[in-house]
Amino acid sequence: MDQPEHIPSAAAIALNRFGLGARPGAAPLADPRAWLIDQFGRYESRPAGFAALADAGTLLDQYREGVRAARATEAATAERQLARRNLRDAAQSLYREGVQARTDAALLTEAPFVERMVHFWSNHFCVSADNPRVAALAPAFERDAIRPHVLGRFQDMLLAAVRHPAMLLYLNQVGSIGPSSPAAQRAPDRNRGLNENLAREIMELHTLGARSDYTQQDVTAFARALTGWSTGRRGLFTFRAPQHEPGTQTILGRRYAQPGVEQAHAALLDFAAAPATATHVASKLARHLTGDNPSQAIIRRLTGAFTRSGGDLPTLYRTLIDSPEAWSPAGRKFKTPWEWTISALRGLGCRTAASLPIAALQTQLGQRVWRPGAPAGWDDTAAAWAGSDALLRRVEVAQRFAAAPVSQGVDARALAPQILPGALSAATSQQIARAESPAAALALLLASPDFLRR
């Protein structure tokens, strides 16, 4: 899709590229850069919706107890099936509550740039809620592993994400057993062994990047170091020493002789501080904020900021804010379905999405919340989202939004310049003015090329 032929203002870029979309009636931004930095002091790490979520750990405990009890009954198979159905139903309910909490946090926040970074990091350290146990834990993963660390250090977020039960279950870490561990020696015929999923994704996706110099031997050694990392009661992290592979592991040429849980912990800290990690993280942040093909200049700038600060995330955000590439009109990003949905609801003045089935709408739009198709997370380029079928789905949802009660009485002609300050093209203005009804005008605005990009 061609980009609109006009130059968005700095305020429009701050609101829509760095932020989550402008609200109607908001005061003009006198200093867009200062407005972004000021959000670091206004971010709410545990908003009400997330704080009110039910305890997923207790739900998982009930499931395990149900399965364990079923083994002692004559109708064991039926009882286990019932336990699974109960888990699935309860997990889906908790998942929907979590999607609602995430949506309302994005609509209510006074720190939309920081909230955007929550979504960015949640996708970087992604889990998939396709498994009922992970579905129950996915909201808690974002709440407990991502949100508290979004203004902290990269290594702390990395450790929190890797140790979270959602990640351990998603990547099958809980069943990983060292080949020479006490657990393997006691039950050598059991169909369990070393699982390299978590080790590989940490190195390839979370830290060093696919193009760094690690080898398959490094992945295997790190997987051995990770054995024993598991979940326990109430879904909390626990270290199961009998599953841990004994002995020193050599990873990327460095020997790790630490005992037990400290072995993988030490390797993770080294990964977090590695030059390859700085470049990998810098490249992803630059792509997210400055365009699908970021310049090497901003990648080098962000890499240097990461290295000098020891992975301090606010330092990276400030570097982005200070980079001219982030303010270039040529770097406009095509919104993902999630970004488009949130910006549309914010543009309509919504303070809650309680009346809308957000989880179902995101499925319709092709980007299910916390359900990416692979551990790499959702793609962050226009090629993934700008196809004709995807655009048609947005038009359909735009029409639905325009007909919703919150949109009644909204004049798209007055709204457009408020939510796209300095970024509204003459073509879009003309289409809105010629629309056959107020609802049609509003749908045209939300589906316009101006609004589809940030």
Residue that wins the pLDDT comparison between 82 and 395: 395
Looking at beta carbons, which pairs linking 430-439 to residues 24 or more positions away fall under 8 Å? 438/410, 438/411, 438/412, 439/399, 439/402, 439/403, 439/407
Measured CA to CA in angstroms, residue 167 lies from 120, 126, 240, 327 at distances of 17, 8, 16, 35
Give the Cβ contact number of residue 308 at 10 Å. Answer: 11
Tokens of 210: 């696919």
pLDDT digits (tens, 9 = 90+) for 232-278: 988 899 999 999 999 999 999 999 999 999 999 999 999 999 999 99
Chain position carrying tokens 């995330």: 313
Is 230 in a helix, a strand, or coil? strand
User: Which pLDDT does position 3 carry in this prediction?
Assistant: 46
Query: What is the signed CA dihedral for 21, 367, 129, 215, rounded to 10 degrees?
Result: -100
Q: Which of 60, 53, 55 is nearest to 84 (CA)?
A: 60
**In terms of residues, how long is the chain?**
454
Is 254 in a helix, a strand, or coil? strand
End-to-end CA distance of the chain: 14
Tell me the average pLDDT of the chain. 93
Average pLDDT over residues 129-136: 92
Cβ pair 156, 175 in contact under 8 A = no
Chain position carrying tokens 């989550």: 20
Q: Is the pTM of this model over 0.85?
A: yes
Tokens of 378: 């959702």
pLDDT digits (tens, 9 = 90+) for 341-400: 999 999 999 999 888 999 999 999 999 999 998 999 999 999 999 999 999 999 999 999
Residue 97 has pLDDT above 60, yes or no: yes
Give the Cβ contact number of residue 159 at 10 Å. Answer: 17
User: Which pLDDT does position 204 carry in this prediction?
Assistant: 98
Tokens of 113: 């740039």
Q: Which of 144, 121, 135, 120 is nearest to 89 (CA)?
A: 135
- Sign of the C-alpha dihedral computed for residues 144, 150, 155 and 158 taken in this order: positive
